[in-house]
A and B are shown apart, each in its own frame.
Chain A
């Protein structure tokens, strides 16, 4: 694991090669170029992210501004014009919101929550994993037993529990403003254990190595040893779990919103849209459910495929 691909590329003696050219010749780029699925997945993911970032400029309507909505636009089928004279490419939902615009804005919420929650889980899990792996002993036992207990429950249950506790603590009139951050913390706290476990294992291996011993003998502060020397050597697996964790966090956000405990219904994420849409399956307004669901599947699937590819590319033992 410690052998990063750059080091295997190093023995080729080429005197003046720019870093960019070296990168282009690296194993990672080679495996990317030779994996059509990964190329498609990355394009899809990139498109979705761009759609989310530029939603305010790209989207035909702003569904998060209730003042622009007209209830009488409700339930307009895809590719048609409503009573009020508005055109909806993917139809409109029960509140007269344009499904296409709502998906674009909903993607922003889903991606933001997913990214922030994964980042939170990563920072927390990596720190605890490094400490546990490096210090060992009782501290290691405590941290890892907590992680074990948490891993024995489904992440969604833990997120629901944390969400419930937060709801109980925050006064009712501030709950809506805090909803997104509560979601991020709930999902983040539900997912840190994966990071901690992997990083701890990698750290324990690194700790035995000569360079760590050398740094220690030189009297370097253990905190600096962890940060400057051990951490860079465990980033590979962290990146892989992070990418797959992102896909999981997006799904968890969608699940929580689907259960009705997520973001406010006036600012729907993809999960909220799916919850709203499933009420209209029997009555025939399929587009309210179908398009957000397809988008969620595409997003989660493409991020997951990227994660899988990254795992293979960063792990020479699999080749």
Chain B
């Protein structure tokens, strides 16, 4: 069976290669789900940003090692004598797709728009008080205090043309949650390497190279971005030559694809940690048979939960080796990560049982685990495996599996007792993790902290990071916070997810750690 399939595949590849010679510059690229909108500031979401980066550009970019790189801004520095002001020098001679010149006014307009009511990007610019155009190619950002890491927050905030936006009534960002729409949801005018040719939402988007782009002309001149939800159909499309690059490859198919002649798979760690969270407050759980208190408010129970988790077994069986087990809810790309934090205990069922008995639950207790089933690599399978591991220490877990659209409201509304989630860190700085996952859940912070964890000392340290001017002090505070939250067992990290892109031979798309690959980086052989 194996050899005949290989042969069929080889024939198919040969035929696509022949066909490919004539238009070697077109890339057909498949993913599991589409960009949610084309309004650049409406959704802070990976798939949406990935497509937008082809059409629009940001002030700063990031290379595959995680370093900041110049994009629409060529130089950036704190203002001499005033560490509350960032000065950006802009690239000259850049034109929008409609021919308008790119100037400082466009930056002022775009940042103001990204800070406005319905923008999903506004938390990244919370410390910006005002933006002023000093001249056509210099912009100053007045910050609330010294903000060392602010440039890191600019890598997903896209610059729009002020004149075009005003002419099309785009001052208000699309209110995505309420189903509102505006002109920029289906129409674009960026400075990026590609222009939009056509778009069929959830089906296909066609882009073509922008001849006026300031960068070196990319090897890929035309892009067909196709959405194929089912993993097996996606892989079949690649094998049959309908598609050149598949972005979301299930780990079980990596080996088969790499051993199939004519195809290859590029893998690399993603800047994203997968973890379990639970309620740690005293309040009784909604889904447990223990109704007078919360068993998980006892640190011993949380330690038992960690000792029951066999991270290496999950890596070996569920992830087929495609994950990096970790003991800290922080990917290694992020400033503040250390090897000591990353260490995790070996699983120990007997000790876990003893801890549960000590805490007063010799027969365990029951609880519901909420898991997404279409968001992260093998998310439901990871949760199912952990249900079994917890069963071995006597904890009776009901697994509730939902699509991500139904799962995330449970986290945001705090109506979950126990959940699986993944967290990517676009700023490459620990503060982004602390702000949303560890700070007390209030109006401005702790959006993704439904645990009820609230430690005034930790909160104070987290807030101080935003305006700390001394780098050494800041690093020290970051280390202290990590030590504290790890000791408190607020979250139970599982692993760092590994990305896999599959493609036909002759095409190479390197893995981008934020899973936002750009077709300008594709090379042909």
Give A contacts to B, CB under 8 Å: 65-72, 74-75, 94-96, 167, 172-173, 175-177, 260, 264-266, 278-285
Contact = CB atoms under 8 A, between A and B. Distances in A.
Which of A69, A71, A75, A167 has the largest number of chain B CB atoms within 10 A? Answer: A71
A285 B320 CA distance: 13
A157 B240 CA distance: 31
23 contacts: A66-B387, A66-B388, A66-B390, A67-B391, A67-B392, A67-B394, A69-B388, A72-B313, A72-B316, A74-B317, A94-B317, A96-B317, A172-B370, A172-B410, A172-B416, A173-B417, A265-B373, A279-B231, A279-B232, A279-B252, A282-B257, A283-B252, A283-B255
B216 to A, nearest CB: 37
Contacts of A172: 370, 400, 410, 415-416
B391 A65 contact: yes
Interface string B373-413: 10000001100110111111010011111010010001000
B398 A66 contact: no
Contacts of A281: 232
A95 to B, nearest CB: 5
Which of A66, A68, A74, A265 has the largest number of chain B CB atoms within 10 A? Answer: A66
Contacts of A279: 231-232, 250, 252
Contact of B317 (A68, A75, A167, A282): A75
A75 B252 CA distance: 11
Contact of A283 (B253, B286, B403): B253
Shortest 3 CB-CB contacts between residues of A and residues of B? A67-B391, A66-B391, A66-B388
B310 interface: yes
Interface of B: 2, 231-232, 235, 250, 252-253, 255-257, 286-287, 310, 313-314, 316-318, 368, 370, 373, 380-381, 384-385, 387-392, 394, 397-401, 403, 406, 410, 415-417
Contacts of B403: 260
B487 to A, nearest CB: 28
Contacts of A66: 387-388, 390-392, 397
Instruction: State the main secondary structure of chain B at its contact with A.
Output: helix
Given A67-B391, A74-B317, A266-B384, 15 more contacts: A66-B391, A67-B392, A69-B388, A71-B313, A71-B388, A173-B287, A173-B417, A175-B400, A177-B398, A265-B373, A265-B384, A282-B257, A283-B253, A283-B255, A284-B2
A74 B251 CA distance: 15
A280 B235 CA distance: 12
Nearest to B400: A176
A69 B368 CA distance: 19
A175 to B, nearest CB: 6
Nearest to B260: A282
Given A281-B232, A282-B232, A284-B256, A173 B286 contact: yes
Which of B310, B317, B392, B415 has the largest number of chain A CB atoms within 10 A? Answer: B317
A95 B390 CA distance: 14
A95 B381 CA distance: 8
Contacts of B401: 260, 264-265
B417 to A, nearest CB: 7
B256 A282 contact: yes
Contacts of B235: 282
A63 to B, nearest CB: 10
Nearest to A179: B400
A278 B236 CA distance: 13
A176 B368 contact: yes
B307 to A, nearest CB: 15
A284 B252 CA distance: 9
Contacts of B253: 282-283
Nearest to A94: B381
Contacts of B2: 284
Nearest to A260: B373
Nearest to A264: B399
Contacts of A70: 388
A279 B232 CA distance: 7
Contacts of B394: 67
Contacts of B392: 66-67
Contacts of A266: 384, 387, 397-399
B259 to A, nearest CB: 11
A72 B388 CA distance: 12
A278 B389 contact: no
Contact of A71 (B231, B257, B310, B415): B310
Contact of B399 (A68, A176, A278): A176
Nearest to B5: A282
A282 B258 CA distance: 12
A69 B381 CA distance: 14
